[in-house]
Amino acid sequence: MARSACDRNDAEIPVKHWLPRFGLDEPNGSDDVAYTSINPYTEQIEQEFANATDAEVEQALASAHAAQLSWRETDHAERSRVLAAIADRLEADREIYAPVLTADMGKTIVEARAEVDNCVRILRWYADHAAAELAPQTRPSANYKGGHYQVVPSPLGIVYIVEPWNFPYYQIARVLAPQLAAGNTVILKHASNVPRAAAAWQQLMLDAGAPEGLFTNLFASHAQSARIIADDRVRGVALTGSEAAGAIIAGQAAAALKKSTMELGGADALIVLEDADVELAAKWAAFGRHRNSGQVCVSSKRMIVVDAVYDRFAAAYRAEVAKLVAGDPLNEQTTFAPLSSAGARTELLEQVDRAVAAGATAETVDIALPEHGWFMAPVILTDIAEDNPAYTEEFFGPVTQLYRVADEQEAVAVANSSPYGLGGSVFTADEQRGLAVGARLDTGMVSINRPSLGGADVPFGGTKRSGYGRELTELGLLEFVNLKVIGLGDING
């Protein structure tokens, strides 16, 4: 199974050195993608799926294209009705859909239900708001007497989406909902380790009575993926995944002159200032680092703490992490799930070894782990020098980087020294100070006194190597529409 979440380059390695490791010099990538669902707790194969044939890829493109020609003419009321029907079906069948996530990638059932609920909210947000957000706007033009024009957000065509395994439904919903609302259709290539979740979403569309071709899941190889991106019927490409996949897929989209959005990795800083409620900060930091077993793009990955409260924070943080309860993810008392795959754990452990070999100190927080399942005990890394590869890497799992800094100024400098720019947070008693520090962080998102801020009605996206473009809200809606300008006014007047 292709896995690359932790096989990350660092800022010091020139691009020409790291790209070939991910096959960018072979644009068709590998064809060895195997769509297999292996339960991370039982370590047993749940289900294997056959890869798409080339004929199925062509059929999917033809069907999505035909559906879009009709869907683009469908009025907003009907598009909203379909989105609401999908939300209603998902909500009604929550107890069918949630356990699929737990079996596919190991997250706790509590987190799986929360993910289903979040998808329902996203689908409903677009059902309720898209018509107003996409309404044509009339504006004056000073170029000629009585001149004016309309900006009419118009559908584009098929949007091809490539999604990661860490939130298998949410990642679909946050692109599918705006695209359907905008009059586009969607073809999905999901991560190869969550095929049951991908198939479940296809079933959801059927059960909700959505017209055929609005959404098509394809178990595509990387070579087929490249051909889909190049196909003229595909008008936009959205990837959520690693920086490595982003470099490849953005390159393929650029070669075909197609717009893309890239939601990539992150190494979010969580800054604790001397006036913060240190114990509360430690509690939320531990949550922000370990939810979904640390496999979140906007996890709080780097705790940057000013000297005056560092020792107190470190002690409180260790104590909070030690409270995690590892166990069967289907048990509602479990708060710490296994990692998504054996490979992900191996890569993360190797990444910790590399950090230690380069001078870091690793402290394992000793929590009881079940005898089976791909669990990894939480690790806290300190003494990470700037020339340590860990300093610029994303750790996609329960590994905390803890930095001691002199003051606010140094905290901002360390936070901004990451090649990533996804999210970040600032803990302080003074909200205005938090806002001022947040304004200086070179990231797409900042949260004050909380690990991250998310939801159906909050935009999501990053900068630097975390990618470009925005998802959710009207910003996500406008990423793949043609903002068509229609001029009006009498040229003879």
Which residues contact ligand NAP by CB under 6 A?
Answer: 2, 4-5, 29, 33, 162-166, 189-192, 222, 225, 240-242, 245, 248-249, 263-266, 297, 394, 396, 422, 462, 466
297, 320, 393, 408: the active-site residue:
297
Nearest CB to ligand NAP, comparing residues 29 and 155: 29
Nearest CB to ligand NAP, comparing residues 228 and 316: 228
Q: How far is the CB of 62 from ligand NAP (least distance, A)?
A: 21
Nearest CB to ligand NAP, comparing residues 133 and 163: 163
The CA distance from 329 to 55, in Å, is 39
Nearest CB to ligand NAP, comparing residues 222 and 345: 222
Q: How far is the CB of 223 from ligand NAP (least distance, A)?
A: 8
Nearest CB to ligand NAP, comparing residues 50 and 429: 50
The CA distance from 54 to 64, in Å, is 15
Q: How far is the CB of 361 from ligand NAP (least distance, A)?
A: 25
Query: Is 119 assigned a catalytic role?
Result: no
Nearest CB to ligand NAP, comparing residues 66 and 478: 478
95-115 burial, b at 16+ Cβ within 10 Å, e below that, comes to eebbbbbbbbbbbbbbbbbeb
Q: How far is the CB of 278 from ligand NAP (least distance, A)?
A: 28
Measured at CB, which residue is nearest to ligand NAP?
241
Q: Crossing angle of helices 195-207/76-92, nearest 10°?
A: 120
Q: How far is the CB of 269 from ligand NAP (least distance, A)?
A: 15
Nearest CB to ligand NAP, comparing residues 84 and 453: 453
The CA distance from 236 to 479, in Å, is 9
Q: How far is the CB of 341 from ligand NAP (least distance, A)?
A: 9
Query: Is 6 assigned a catalytic role?
Result: no
Short-list 170, 239, 161, 229, CA closest to 201: 170
Short-list 204, 220, 168, 167, CA closest to 30: 220
243, 263, 471, 479: the active-site residue:
263
Q: How far is the CB of 192 from ligand NAP (least distance, A)?
A: 4
| CA-to-CA separations, 186 to 123, 155, 202, 236, 469, in angstroms, rounded | 15, 12, 11, 10, 18
The CA distance from 258 to 293, in Å, is 35
Nearest CB to ligand NAP, comparing residues 28 and 63: 28
Q: How far is the CB of 140 from ligand NAP (least distance, A)?
A: 38
The residues, ordered by sequence, that sit 6+ positions from 410 with a Cβ below 8 Å of its Cβ are: 306
**Catalytic annotation, residues:** 263, 297
